[in-house]
Amino acid sequence: MVLWAAMLDAFLPVPSSPGVRTVRIDLHCHSTASDGTDTPAELVRNAAAAGLDVVALTDHDTTRGYAEAIAALPAGLTLVTGAELSCRLDGVSMHMLAYLFDPEEPALFAERELVRDDRVPRAQGMVAKLRELGVPITWERVARIAGDGSVGRPHVATALVELGVVPTVNDAFTGDWLADGARAYVPKHETDPFEALRLIKGAGGVAVFAHPAASKRGLTVPESAIAELAAAGLDGIEVDHMDHEPETRARLRGLAAELGLLGTGSSDYHGSRKTCVLGEYTTDPEVYGEITRRATGAFPVPGTGGV
């Protein structure tokens, strides 16, 4: 265990001038492999330009952008393997961030592919519902916006913006349009979070509940459920996030301490699709260090000056 810890410590970023600046770590970012607008290569270059030391690529239910990100990884930036898994608990949609897992582990890979493959018929169903509501949207438009990424509601929302139906992507996530249970909402396959924990742990990864109190998005799971997830092996909760008000972040920080969970912070960056910027919220280096020490599925990858 001492040797393993020493190996992991070698991947922890150290500021070039200790005491002068803080190591900046953003553990929740999306690329065109799912619903972001930056390619994986653009994402890592933009992360370095934003002054980040560590960035996690956490596309929805896929790691397909990882190879491109590694190939372009600038010197001085460390890349963390990640994915944001679609889950549902007692009818409430939630997301589980998985870090430093083995992306080829068969059980977790199969579940990610199942969720990803279900996204196409789901998005097509939303297009059909919108057309029934009189919106002149087409599947061809949504598919063009999604490109090679995992198609999802943000791509449908972007189409609504292009058509002038709503002013911004966020305005599409309401009861009128695409929010959970809304007029054009269509459910998709989502993993039970307790099963997600089992799969993530089986692949050597670390599990963090993403934006657990983002009530703007719809219903959220109760704190009692977070306690049950903690007892089942949840490692942390995302505390500092754009969808959490200051008082909510304070409450979540207290809950994390009470349950013995790590508290992370991150931007949930989607490029131009959302207003947040890289590094808007960050994770404490000690918390990041603990994540790397708990993981056995993959190592962070330090940049060597990619293409």
3-state SS track over 33-48: CCCCCCCHHHHHHHHH
The overall longest dimension of the chain from CA atoms, in Å, is 63
182 within a domain of the structure (yes/no): no
pTM confidence score: 0.88
What is the average pLDDT value for the chain, to the nearest integer?
92
294 within a domain of the structure (yes/no): yes
Give the HSE-up count for residue 4: Cα atoms under 13 Å, Cβ half-sphere: 9
Task: Point out which residues pair with 269 in neighbouring strands.
Answer: 29
36 within a domain of the structure (yes/no): yes
- pLDDT exceeds cutoff 70 at 7: no
159 within a domain of the structure (yes/no): no
174 within a domain of the structure (yes/no): no
> In sequence order, which residues have a C-beta less than 8 Å from that of residue 224 and are 6 or more positions away?
none
- pLDDT exceeds cutoff 90 at 83: yes
> In sequence order, which residues have a C-beta less than 8 Å from that of residue 139 and are 6 or more positions away?
123, 124, 127
Out of 108-112, 270-274, 297-301, pick the least confident: 270-274
- For the stretch 257-287, pLDDT in tens is 999 999 999 999 999 988 899 999 999 999 9
Mean predicted confidence (pLDDT) in 60-74: 96
Domains in the chain: how many in total? 1
Terminal-to-terminal C-alpha distance of the chain: 36
* Structural domain boundaries, residue 17: 2-113+188-302
The per-residue pLDDT for 2 is 38
Residues above pLDDT 90, as percent of the chain:
85
Give the separation between CA 241 and CA 276, rounded to whole angstroms: 10
51 within a domain of the structure (yes/no): yes
- For the stretch 205-225, pLDDT in tens is 999 999 999 987 778 999 999
22 within a domain of the structure (yes/no): yes
Mean predicted confidence (pLDDT) in 42-49: 98
Give the separation between CA 262 and CA 283, rounded to whole angstroms: 10
- pLDDT exceeds cutoff 90 at 122: yes
Domain CATH for 52 = 3.20.20.140
The per-residue pLDDT for 11 is 53
- pLDDT exceeds cutoff 50 at 10: no
- The alpha helices in 163-262, defined as continuous H runs, are 193-202, 223-231, 246-259
Out of 21-25, 176-180, 239-243, pick the least confident: 21-25
Best CA proximity match to 238, nearest among 267, 207, 265, 218: 265
94 within a domain of the structure (yes/no): yes
> Are 304 and 110 within 8 A, CB to CB?
no
Mean predicted confidence (pLDDT) in 97-108: 98
Give the HSE-up count for residue 15: Cα atoms under 13 Å, Cβ half-sphere: 11
